[in-house]
A and B are shown apart, each in its own frame.
Chain A
Amino acid sequence: MKVTLISIPVRDQEKALKFYTEKLGFLKKKDAPLGGGNRWLTLVSPEWQDGPELLLEPAPNHFEPCKVFQDALMEAGFPYTQFDVDDVDAEYDRLVKLGVEFSVKPTEMGTAKFAVFNDTCGNNIQIVEML
């Protein structure tokens, strides 16, 4: 078995595609229609294009418990998932300039530095740098 996919629940796939590609810098890899306006939509990191894919999944629109779970995480400030970056401070500055809202500014904890932002699609996302 191989780990090749990470799923992120999003309320609006088109809006998520724009945010994750235009602001975060991911590249679109797969985009196939699934009926009813839904798509199998995956992204990859530009520097690791054969690495794991990020699935932008419209689950909250079709499965109420997923929406409830997503809302609860958002309310509590919990990140849905996290991405590695080389420099949290630099990425924080870059994203703030693009209008991205952070709930946790760059913070050190032991051997890691992290920050948390709102992906505008229902999730908090954490970026992490290993110190």
Chain B
Amino acid sequence: MTFYETKIKHIKNNCFSNDKQIQTVIGIKNYIDNNYEFDLNLDFLSHIKFISKYHMLRLFKKYYGLTPRQYLIDKRIDKSKEHLTNGISVTETCYAVGFESLGSFSTLFKTRTGKSPIDFQKKSNFQEVR
């Protein structure tokens, strides 16, 4: 066993030994992956796994390093990039990935990617033509 494998084993025993908790948060993450376009909130996510809202929030943050809300937003932004690259309009993309307001989608998209959705789409079209 290498030094690295010894260290990994140590971390696994110290931080990742509670398999029930891990399976719960993986289940929540998978649920977000498959339902990101719907109106998801903490109450609903905790309800499907039969745990309290704050316990779920703490567990998710402990194992993934970010909150379910942050993960959901990242997922929606990733998916919106795919839609925009595939030529789907900004308005259609906004609603298809689960945002309810075009204004907040555009602002959030620009904050996360550095470009507005329309500029992002123009650039990806330009790269394809090249």
Contact = CB atoms under 8 A, between A and B. Distances in A.
A116 interface: yes
Contacts of B63: 110-111
A79 interface: yes
A131 B123 CA distance: 32
A45 B41 CA distance: 34
Interface in B2-32: 2-5, 8, 11-12, 15-16, 22, 25-26, 29
Interface residues of B, number: 17
Interface residues of B, dominant DSSP: helix
B22 A77 contact: no
Interface string B48-66: 0000000000000001100
A77 B2 CA distance: 6
Contacts of A111: 16, 22, 25-26, 29, 63-64
Given A109-B12, A110-B22, A110-B63, A77 B5 contact: yes
B16 A78 contact: no
B127 interface: yes
B29 to A, nearest CB: 7
Contact of B15 (A49, A77, A110, A124): A110
Residue of A77, A78, A111, A131 with highest tally of chain B CB at under 10 A: A111
29 contacts: A49-B127, A76-B2, A76-B3, A77-B2, A77-B5, A78-B4, A79-B4, A103-B2, A104-B4, A104-B5, A104-B8, A107-B8, A109-B8, A109-B11, A109-B12, A110-B12, A110-B15, A110-B16, A110-B22, A110-B63, A111-B16, A111-B22, A111-B25, A111-B26, A111-B63, A111-B64, A130-B29, A130-B64, A131-B26
Interface of B: 2-5, 8, 11-12, 15-16, 22, 25-26, 29, 63-64, 123, 127
